[in-house]
Structure 1
Amino acid sequence: MDRRHLLKALAGLAVCPLCTTTGLAAEGVHWGYEGEAGPAKWGELDTASKACAVGAQQSPIDISSTIKSQLPALKLAWGKTADTIVNNGHTIQLNFAEGSTLKLGDTTYKLVQVHFHRPSEHLVGGKNFPMEAHFVHRADSGALAVVGVLMAEGKANPAFGKIVATMPAKEGPAVKADSSINPNALLPKKLGYYRYPGSLTTPPCSETVEWLVLTDPIQVAAADVAAFAKLYPMNARPVQKDNRRYVLQSV
Structure 2
Amino acid sequence: MLKKINPAGVLSLAMLMGCSAETEKKMDDDHKEDVTWSYAGETGPSNWHTLHPEYAACGEGEKQSPINIDVSTVELNDDLEALDLTYQSTPFSLENNGHTIQLTDPTGENSIEVQGEEYTLQQLHFHTPSENSLNGNHFEMEGHLVHQNEAGELAVLAFLIEEGKNNSVLAEAFSNMPSENNKEELASNVKLDLLLPEDMSTFHYSGSLTTPPCSEGVRWVVLEEPIQLSEQQIKTFSEHFPHGNAREPQPLNKREVYVK
What TM-score, normalized by structure 2, do the two folds share?
0.87
Which residue of the other structure, out of 146, 161, 186, is the alignment partner of 1:151?
161
Equivalent pairs, count: 236
The gaps in structure 1 that reach 5 residues or longer are 1-13
Residue 181 of structure 1: how far off its partner (Å): 2.3
Alpha-carbon offset, residue 183 of structure 1: 2.3
Letter in 2 for 1:249: V
Return the match for 2:213 from 197, 204, 208.
204
**Cα displacement string for residues 42-99 of structure 1 (whole angstroms, at most 9, x for unaligned residues):** 0011111110000000000000021111221111101212331100000000001211
SS in 2 for 1:17: helix
- One-letter code of the match for 1:69? N
- Structure 1 pair 177–52 and aligned structure 2 pair: CA distance change class (3 A): same
Q: In 2, Cα distance between the equivalents of 1:40 and 1:160?
A: 32
Structure 1 residue runs of 4 or more that deviate by more than 3 Å after TM superposition: none
Which of the pair has the greater relative contact order for Cα pairs under 8 Å at 6+ separation? 2
Q: Which runs of 5+ in 2 are unaligned?
A: 1-18
What is the rounded CA distance, in whole Å, between the counterparts of 1:82 and 1:221 in structure 2? 23
Q: What amino acid is aligned across from residue 56 of structure 2 in structure 1?
A: K
One-letter code aligned to 1:119? P
Distance 2:191 2:145 in 1: 13
- Aligned-residue CA RMSD in angstroms? 1.4
**Selected match of 1:113 from 120, 123, 144:** 123
State the alpha-carbon separation in 1 of the partners of residues 128 and 45 from structure 2. Answer: 15
Alignment of 1:223-242 (within 5 A): 223-233=232-242, 234-242=244-252
**What residue is the counterpart of 2:51 in the other structure?**
45
Contact 1:130/1:152 (CA < 8 Å) preserved in 2?
yes
Cα distance in 2 for residues equivalent to 1:151 and 1:106: 28
CA contact (8 A) 2:92 2:189 kept: no
Tell whether 2:75 aligns with 1:67: yes
- Establish whether residue 129 from structure 1 lines up as the match of residue 139 from structure 2: yes
- Give the alignment of 1:75-94 within 5 angstroms: 75-94=84-103
Matched residue, 2:149: 139
**Distance in structure 2 (CA, Å) of the matches to 1:38 and 1:17:** 18
Corresponding residue number in structure 2 for 1:10: none
Read off the aligned partner of 1:152 and give its amino acid letter. E
Secondary structure at the aligned position of 1:128 is classed as: coil
Residue 57 of structure 1 aligns to which amino acid in structure 2? K
Kept in 1: contact 2:163–2:231 (CA 8 A): yes
Structure-2 change in CA distance of 1:140 and 1:167 (3 Å) = same
SS where residue 174 of structure 1 aligns?
strand
Which position in structure 1 is the counterpart of 2:112? 102
Alignment of 1:17-56 (within 5 A): 17-22=22-27, 24=29, 25-56=31-62
Fraction of identical pairs, as percent: 38
- Retained in 1: the 8 A contact 2:166–2:228? yes
- Distance in 2, matches of 1:105 and 1:27, equals 36
> Is the CA contact (8 Å cut-off) linking 2:87 and 2:110 kept in structure 1?
yes
Change (3 A) 1:23 1:216: farther
Shift in alpha-carbon separation, 1:208–1:23, aligned structure 2, 3 A = farther
| Post-superposition offset of 1:174 | 2.6
Q: Confirm or deny: 8 A CA contact 2:49 2:57 kept in the other structure.
A: yes
Aligned partners of 1:82 and 1:94 also within 8 Å: no
